[in-house]
Amino acid sequence: MEMRFPEVKAPEPAELETGRLLFAGETTFVKGVVAMDGLPPADRMEICFAGRSNVGKSSLINALTGRKGLARASNTPGRTQEINYFTAGDIYVVDLPGYGFANAPVAVVEKWQRLLKNYLSGRPTLRRVFVLIDARHGAKAVDEEIMSLLDRSAVTFQVIMTKVDKLRGDALEASLAKTRAALAKHPAAFPELILTSSEKGDGIPTLRAIIAGIS
């Protein structure tokens, strides 16, 4: 299953095991943050997940941590409005608010954008941002915006393609090629895409191993 996608180098068994162990224990919710002064102390490494509303972020975090109700999967785009902190092993896993939602009031969007910007550019322990992109839709303008912000903030990021079970063959290849081309313009980006399906579990052990390998 893990070998189906040649994008990232397949982790070694020992790396897979380290990744499994990192998420084998209890993943606990720490807090939802709405302002910079609410962030927990920057006392350990953290990684975070960013993506457009409905990209499948909650589903991915649930699959990663093996806890169904942890990050709520919802069909109502844009309902996750806080920076949510979780602990997994000795790291923080951070769930950023989904961006690009159409119906939220402008003032609300602006407040989130400000928080997002401040967080991404001012968190010393943030080691990597995983930018989620729906395999069916490819990178949209809002994804480009966040990737440019990450470039400017010098925060390295890696793209996770979500819902790859919805595409196959040439359609999947075309989507990947387009995303790779988009990434080539971003100096802070890792070139390799991580392909995932939370529904099928594809790519989840690999993602765990990648996270465990970040130091």
| Interface with ligand GTP (CB under 6 A) | 51, 53-59, 73-75, 77-80, 98, 162-163, 165-166, 197-199
Shortest reach from residue 177's CB to ligand GTP, in Å: 20
Shortest reach from residue 187's CB to ligand GTP, in Å: 26
Shortest reach from residue 154's CB to ligand GTP, in Å: 26
Cβ–Cβ under 8 Å, residues 150 and 157: yes
Cβ–Cβ under 8 Å, residues 24 and 167: no
Shortest reach from residue 6's CB to ligand GTP, in Å: 19
Residue whose C-beta lies closest to ligand GTP: 98
Q: Which is nearer to ligand GTP, 17 or 165 (CB)?
A: 165
Q: Which is nearer to ligand GTP, 75 or 103 (CB)?
A: 75
Q: Which is nearer to ligand GTP, 165 or 192 (CB)?
A: 165
How do strand 91-95 and strand 46-51 relate by DSSP bridges?
A: parallel
Judged by DSSP in three states, 135 sits in coil
Q: Which is nearest to 23 in space by CA: 171, 215, 161, 211?
A: 211
How far apart are the C-alpha atoms of 20 and 209, rounded to whole Å? Answer: 7
Shortest reach from residue 72's CB to ligand GTP, in Å: 7
End-to-end CA distance of the chain: 27
Q: Which is nearest to 33 in space by CA: 111, 85, 87?
A: 85
Q: Which is nearer to ligand GTP, 75 or 215 (CB)?
A: 75
Q: Which is nearer to ligand GTP, 192 or 199 (CB)?
A: 199
Judged by DSSP in three states, 169 sits in helix
